[in-house]
A = this chain, B = another copy of it.
Amino acid sequence: MPVDESPARPPTLNEVAARAGVSLKTASRALNGEPYVSGATERRVRQAADELGYRLNGLARELRTGGTSALVGLISGDLANPFYSAVASGAERELRRHGLLLITVNNDEDSALESSLLSALVERRVRALLVIPSSGGSPIAVGAKAHNVPFVFVDRPPVGLAADSVLIDNAGGARAAAEHLLAGGHRRIALVADLVRTASQQARISAFGAAMRAAGNPDWEPYVRTDVHDAATATRVVGELLALPEPPTALFTTNNQLTIGALRALRGHRHPPALVGFDDFELADVVGVTVVAHDMVELGRAAARLAQERIAGYAGPPRTVVIPTTLIPRGSGER
Spell out A's residues near B (CB within 8 Å). Answer: 2, 6-8, 10, 53, 55-60, 62-63, 67, 69-71, 78-80, 82, 85-86, 88-89, 92-93, 96, 101-106, 119-125, 145-148, 260, 263-264, 267, 281-283, 285-287, 297
- In the complex, the answer to whether B71 meets A79 with C-beta atoms within 8 Å is no
- In the complex, the answer to whether A85 meets B80 with C-beta atoms within 8 Å is yes
- In the complex, the answer to whether B297 meets A123 with C-beta atoms within 8 Å is no
* Complex: A56 Cα to B63 Cα, angstroms: 13
Residue among B7, B96, B122 making CB contact with A105, cutoff 8 Å? B96
Residue among B78, B85, B101 making CB contact with A103, cutoff 8 Å? B101
Using known A-B contacts A79-B89, A96-B106, determine if residue A59 contacts B55 with beta carbons closer than 8 Å: no
Residues on B with beta carbons closer than 8 Å to the beta carbon of A119 = 55
Question: With contacts A53-B147, A59-B67 known, what are 15 further pairs, Cβ within 8 A?
Answer: A6-B145, A8-B148, A53-B148, A59-B125, A63-B63, A79-B79, A79-B88, A80-B297, A82-B85, A88-B88, A101-B121, A102-B104, A103-B103, A263-B283, A264-B286
Residues on B with beta carbons closer than 8 Å to the beta carbon of A121 = 101
Residue among B67, B82, B106 making CB contact with A82, cutoff 8 Å? B82
Residue among B10, B89, B103, B123 making CB contact with A67, cutoff 8 Å? B10
Residues on B with beta carbons closer than 8 Å to the beta carbon of A283 = 260, 263, 281-283, 287
Residues on B with beta carbons closer than 8 Å to the beta carbon of A85 = 79-80, 82, 85, 88-89
- In the complex, the answer to whether B123 meets A57 with C-beta atoms within 8 Å is yes
- In the complex, the answer to whether B80 meets A104 with C-beta atoms within 8 Å is no
* Complex: A96 Cα to B281 Cα, angstroms: 29
* Complex: A103 Cα to B102 Cα, angstroms: 6
A285 CB to nearest chain B CB (Å): 7
Tell me the nearest residue of chain B to A8, going by C-beta.
B148
- In the complex, the answer to whether A123 meets B55 with C-beta atoms within 8 Å is yes
Residues on B with beta carbons closer than 8 Å to the beta carbon of A2 = 146
A168 CB to nearest chain B CB (Å): 17
* Complex: A57 Cα to B234 Cα, angstroms: 44
A132 CB to nearest chain B CB (Å): 14
Residue among B58, B80, B122, B286 making CB contact with A124, cutoff 8 Å? B58
